[in-house]
Amino acid sequence: MLTQRIWSGFLAGLIVLLAIVFGDVWVWKAVVFVATVICVGEFAVMLGATWKSALALWVYLVIIAVEWWPYWHLPIALETMVAITLLFPVAWRNRVTVSQAGTTFVGALYIGYGGLSLDLLRALPHGQMWLWLVLIAVWTTDTAAYFGGRLFKGNKLWPDISPKKTVSGAITGFVAAALSSVIVGIISVPRPHVLSLALLGAVISVISQLGDLVESAYKRSAGVKDSGRLLPGHGGMLDRVDGLLFAAPFALFFITVAHARWFF
């Protein structure tokens, strides 16, 4: 299982590496779009739909709107999307429930806006650096939490939601993300603000771990172990990027509001 986890993680990381280093903004946007479409499909299936159901097709369209249509967030556009979602139980005579339709739609907004935030990070000045910082902070959080929890053990973090996560693992991931963000900054710019970079990495770590708990709660509610089977050792695509999609909008906010003044 660990070998599968390492190899599938390596291949996924290689695709991301090639897209960032050798691709432009549009190549990255295409990679993110494919990943988020897979994620929202897994989310819909987890809630009882099928990959080709009308509800799944609808949330694919929501992902397209959020990531490719700049006016998706206007009140009339959002109201229209909400109205269409609420009409599903009517059109399908309650074979699609209000809870199922609403939750799937909210999941599509979370996944789509996470993807859009990754696109916008890449398009910023120093976009490659910011993207690497966020990605590495999330990856080091996951990796350090996994091995830190196995090494130090101790109290469970939130056993009702995710029985394997430990407080020691969460703290290890938090510290590793802060350190990794500082390292990315030192490598990338001449005079980085070390404390601010560490704080940004720590915030990303906390939010990504919350995102992981959120998906764990939905999986537990749906009675499934993984969101899918696409990545051996990791489960589905959403299992791999849940924390990243949750953290990316907040990272984008802090970076753009600060206008990089806090960081270098």
Q: Per residue, what are the HEC states of 186-229?
A: HHHCCCCCHHHHHHHHHHHHHHHHHHHHHHHHHHHHHCCCCCCC
Entry pTM: 0.91
Average confidence (pLDDT) over 139-145: 90
Kindly state the average pLDDT of the residues 153-179.
84
What's the alpha-carbon Rg for the chain, to the nearest Å?
19
Mean pLDDT over residues 58-85, rounded? 96
Give the 3-state secondary structure of residue 154: coil
What average pLDDT does this structure show over 163-177? 87
Is pLDDT of 110 > 90? yes
The pLDDT value recorded for residue 2 is: 52
CA distance 92 to 76: 24
- Closest to 244 in 3D by CA, of 129, 123, 127, 110: 110
7: confidence class by pLDDT, cuts 50, 70, 90: low
One-letter amino acid at 11 equals: L
Predicted confidence at residue 30, as pLDDT, reads 95
Q: Which residue has the higher pLDDT, 204 or 153?
A: 204
**For the purposes of burial, counting CB atoms within 10 Å of the CB of 147, is it exposed (0-12), middle (13-18) or buried (19 or more)?**
middle
Other beta carbons within 10 angstroms of residue 68's beta carbon come to 13
Provide the phi-psi class of 232: left if phi over 0, else alpha when psi is between -120 and 50, else beta.
Answer: beta
Q: Of the candidates 150, 168, 160, 142, which has an alpha carbon nearest to the alpha carbon of residue 243? A: 142
Residue predicted with more confidence, 12 or 102? 102
In this structure, what DSSP letter does residue 164 have? E
At residue 232, the pLDDT reads 60
Q: At 3, is the pLDDT very low, low, confident or very high (cuts 50, 70, 90)?
A: low
Beta bridge partners of 175: none
Q: How far apart are CA 230 and CA 246, in angstroms?
A: 20
Average pLDDT (37-42) is 95
**158: buried, middle or exposed (CB in 10 Å: 19+, 13-18, 0-12)?**
middle
- The length of the chain in residues reads 264
Percent of the chain with pLDDT over 70: 92
- What is residue 215's predicted lDDT score, i.e. its pLDDT? 86
Q: What is the biggest distance separating any 2 CA atoms in the chain, rounded to whole angstroms?
A: 62
- For residue 83, pLDDT beyond 70: yes
Using DSSP, state whether 70 is helix, strand or coil. coil
Segment 206-254, tens digit of pLDDT:
999 999 888 888 888 877 877 777 766 667 889 889 999 999 999 999 9
Most confidently modeled of 43-47, 78-82, 122-126, 225-229? 78-82
The mean pLDDT of the chain is 88
Average pLDDT of the residues in 32-56: 93
Helices (H), 69-190: 75-91, 98-123, 127-152, 167-188
Rounded to an integer, what distance in angstroms lies between the CA atom of residue 139 and that of residue 56?
29
